[in-house]
Structure 1
Amino acid sequence: MVTHTLGSGLRTAVLLHGGGLSWWNYRAVADLLAANGYRVVLPVLDGHAGSDRPFTSIEDNASELVALIDRELGGHVDALGGVSLGAQVALEALARRPRIAERAVIESALVLPMRAARALVAPAVALSYPLVRRPWFTRAQFASLHLPEELYEPYYRDSCAISKRDMIAFMRANSSYRLKPELAGCGARATILVGGKEPRIMVRSARALAKAMPDSTLVERPGWRHGEASLWHPEVYLEALEGRP
């Protein structure tokens, strides 16, 4: 698992980007955390630009993440977080390795499978993938995600680097992921973030997740869209990791 690291503080945070993005998804959060005493490790999920292997499953990414934490971070981190696909990988790691993290920030995590959406992934990608390298199309996709303007160049570059096969694989995995009962014993104090402008199933997922994790705090922001905290509100992550959501 390829990683990027910012900061050299005594506390360690590992943050996992969303599907179709890359480590720069968390650049603003990482800069803020680094300025507040954290060493921030930003892995690149499989199948994304700069990764070292194709995407196979959320579970395989979680296995790689646990191995990385064992090998390079002493088997335990102060904080583990993720957004969307990255949040699902973080949840899987928390479920399979109790107490791997002291705190967790889980943003916009789908844990209720969407079977109809999964069935539509391959035909949708087949139609859109030939257009990915056309700037007008990527610009429209970028606008729909409400990303900060300074991220357009890395977004365009890295979108062009994702294979059709990987795009289908991680989008199918994202729409199929299911809440794991083992999360009840993960031992991490979690902050679960969801925006009121996200699809209704995302809000339902966040509430189900909060019920499944007894030490969690659910934060619903009515005006926020999918993944907005990681991109526009880095202070929310700092507050969550400092225990003041």
Structure 2
Amino acid sequence: MNVSEYLKFYSELGVSHLKLPASNGKMAASAPGAAQHQSDPALVVEPQPGGLEALRAQIGDCTRCKLASGRTNLVFGSGNPKGELMFVGEAPGEDEDLQGLPFVGRAGQLLTRIIEAIELNRDQVFIANILKCRPPNNRTPEPDEVSACRAFLEQQIQQIRPLVIVALGRVAAQTLLNIETPITRLRGKFFDYHGTPLMPTYHPSYLLRNPSAKREVWEDMKAVRARLKELGSGYYR
């Protein structure tokens, strides 16, 4: 992507000033106030010894649901194992299935730029999905698939212990919060995910189809950045 394309993207987001991710400076924009909501009772999943590497070994060549037979690679997640910000998407797509990494296609490139817009880079955060295997033709995850994979995501969150979680899209938000409220009514507000602030927002793939929604995502991400600062995140020191 050339400079003019980057400028167009950030202009669509509504970003008027931008610092490089490596900078310790602060952007002028501040986050709007965000409502606090409660989710379901505390997690019953306890983190296992050995961290994320041990969890990946525990998952192994997973055959716990029907998606195993059609996958090329299991997509565990990637990024900083102690990341103070964690993004959770829906499921791997074709590019992710081929490479074994989350958010590497067009939606992933957009997510990278969204992360950069709040003065961070992908290596500083952790990125995962509700599912670790690609559903056929990128269809919506089915309940039995979510059930088979959910405990592993919960253990990842327990191991990483992020200060803030961003749920990308309807499936991620509804799964993590155990609710059926539409994403249009969830986004823009913080929810309590077992003691961790969780911000639902639109999935990057939705933004590719609906570019006008980028400004709403930018408002959500400004709120995320502000909450990280309130919590004393090392990202902005």
TM bin, normalised by shorter chain, reads: 0.3 to 0.5
Structure with higher helix content: 1
**What TM-score, normalized to structure 1?**
0.36
